Amino acid sequence: MNVLVINAGSSSLKFQLLDVDTREVYAKGNCERIGIDGSFVGYESCVADGKQTLEVDLPDHKTAVKHVFDIVKATGKDFVGIGHRVVQGGWYFPESKVVTDESLGWVREVAPLAPLHNYAEADVIQICRELFPEIGNVIVADTSFHYNIPERAWRYALPRDVVDKLHIRKYGAHGTSHRYIWRATKEFLGDDVHKLVSCHLGSGASLAGITDGKDMDTTMGLTPLDGLIMGTRCGTIDPATVVYLQREGGYSVDDVDTMMNKQSGLLALSAISSDSRDIEQAADNGDEFCAMAIEMFAYRTAQLIMEMAQANEGMDTIAFSAGIGENSARMRAEVIKKLAWMGVCIDDEKNAVRSDEVRDISGANSSVRVLVVPTNEEYMIALDVAELLG
């Protein structure tokens, strides 16, 4: 059964056409620089040789969606529906839902919690409905997996009337990825996994504590700014810093928002790049800022692994995933080194292996199993679509 998965951003639109039974991908790509000069569609398809680039004008998302459908149509594969990744599901999406006027309205209603993403996503869903009314659409929110974490984990210690009025709570993000990481870990370990700490370490980064498939806590909060240090996001800091920057530093609300989301994190620490590859290379060449950026990222990750272990009241498995978690043997080693006091260790040779498969990199006698689990959010979204529309 084939499904088209769409992940729309404010100026980009990623897509993938895949078979949920065989996991075969028939077409995938990205429409980039939508509404900006120099737009193009980069893609691969089962009916084209290698990577393709269409240098086309993409003035809006509607034009991008039309190109995606041309590419998908050329594969000759039918599909049962379209799965849309939605960053913020708010209080309406404890699970994935078929698109109706009502559910699409909810995506817009909660958009103030993720304005850069939700409005574009809602627009693209509406475009798909108008262009192809015969095809069903499904909303898969990144927050769903976290919605039913225990109240002690999601509630903020702010006045009740305020949090009720403004729907303030921990929503988390990367839920679809954490859900996949649990599934893949369970497939790999069977009955040997019960208490997993899932580490999605990419340019955005979050952890989840998962017990027998149920999410117990996660490190992102009301928005994806909380928790770990990220590529350009500061992660957890004293909340009073926000007020202090405005009162004493003279920064506006928008300045602080931009600073914390786009100018902080690894970029600010290293003073050269948000990309961990650049940072690792510079650290090797003696750059002290970069060495400290790696140290801080690893320290915070290890600290938050322990927080998630507490949410699980135990930990038998740690899984590393996403860009840094899957590819940086060095960062994995730095994180695990910090947990040596509790008997966690990895095997350096196994850690150095590169592969697209789930792999066990635990050291002999490690108190906790350590895995690398390549994430696959598109597959998880496609599974939901198959279940709801198949």
Closest by CA to 64, choosing from 37, 39, 28, is 39
Q: Please say which residue, 176 or 328, places its beta carbon nearer to ligand AMP.
A: 328
**The Cα angle at residue 277 between residues 276 and 282, in degrees rounded to 5:** 95
- Asked whether position 247 contacts ligand AMP by CB under 6 A, the answer is no
Q: Please say which residue, 203 or 367, places its beta carbon nearer to ligand AMP.
A: 203
- Asked whether position 202 contacts ligand AMP by CB under 6 A, the answer is yes
Amino acid type, 109 = E
Q: Taking the alpha carbons of 263, 265, 266, 270 in that order, is the dihedral positive or negative?
A: positive
Shortest CB 206 distance to ligand AMP, Å = 11
- Asked whether position 328 contacts ligand AMP by CB under 6 A, the answer is yes
Quote the CA–CA distance of 265 and 90 in Å, as a whole number. Answer: 25
Please say whether the beta carbons of 208 and 146 come within 8 A: yes
| Of the residues 63, 276, 312, 317, which one makes contact with ligand AMP according to CB under 6 A | 276
Query: How many residues lie near ligand AMP (CB under 6 A)?
Result: 12
Q: Please say which residue, 275 or 360, places its beta carbon nearer to ligand AMP.
A: 275
The CA distances from residue 85 to 30, 221, 270, 286, in Å, are 14, 19, 32, 41
Shortest CB 275 distance to ligand AMP, Å = 4
Q: Please say which residue, 147 or 320, places its beta carbon nearer to ligand AMP.
A: 320
- Asked whether position 203 contacts ligand AMP by CB under 6 A, the answer is yes
| Virtual torsion, Cα 82, 179, 116, 69, nearest 10 deg | -20
Q: Please say which residue, 103 or 351, places its beta carbon nearer to ligand AMP.
A: 351
Long-range pairs for 10-15: beta carbons < 8 A, 24 or more residues apart: 10/116, 10/117, 10/119, 10/120, 11/35, 11/36, 13/61, 13/64, 13/65, 13/68, 13/124, 15/43, 15/68, 15/71, 15/72
- Asked whether position 231 contacts ligand AMP by CB under 6 A, the answer is yes
3-state secondary structure of 41: strand
Instruction: Give residue number: closest CB to ligand AMP.
Output: 323
Q: Please say which residue, 104 or 282, places its beta carbon nearer to ligand AMP.
A: 282
The CA distances from residue 336 to 116, 119, 200, 261, 301, in Å, are 35, 39, 15, 27, 9
The DSSP element (H or E) to which 2 belongs, if any, is: strand 2-8
Site string for ligand AMP, 130-169 (x = CB under 6 A): ----------------------------------------
Angle between helices 276-284 and 329-337 in degrees, nearest 10: 80
- Asked whether position 322 contacts ligand AMP by CB under 6 A, the answer is yes
Shortest CB 166 distance to ligand AMP, Å = 29
- Asked whether position 323 contacts ligand AMP by CB under 6 A, the answer is yes
Is 142 tagged catalytic? yes
Please say whether the beta carbons of 72 and 79 come within 8 A: yes
Among 19, 57, 101, 142, the active-site one is 142
Quote the CA–CA distance of 325 and 149 in Å, as a whole number. Answer: 24
List binders of ligand AMP among 256-275 (CB under 6 A): 275
Shortest CB 319 distance to ligand AMP, Å = 14
Shortest CB 356 distance to ligand AMP, Å = 13
Quote the CA–CA distance of 136 and 252 in Å, as a whole number. Answer: 43
Shortest CB 266 distance to ligand AMP, Å = 7
Shortest CB 251 distance to ligand AMP, Å = 26
Question: Which residues of the chain form contacts with ligand AMP (CB under 6 A)?
Answer: 202-203, 231, 275-277, 280, 322-324, 327-328
| Catalytic residue list | 142
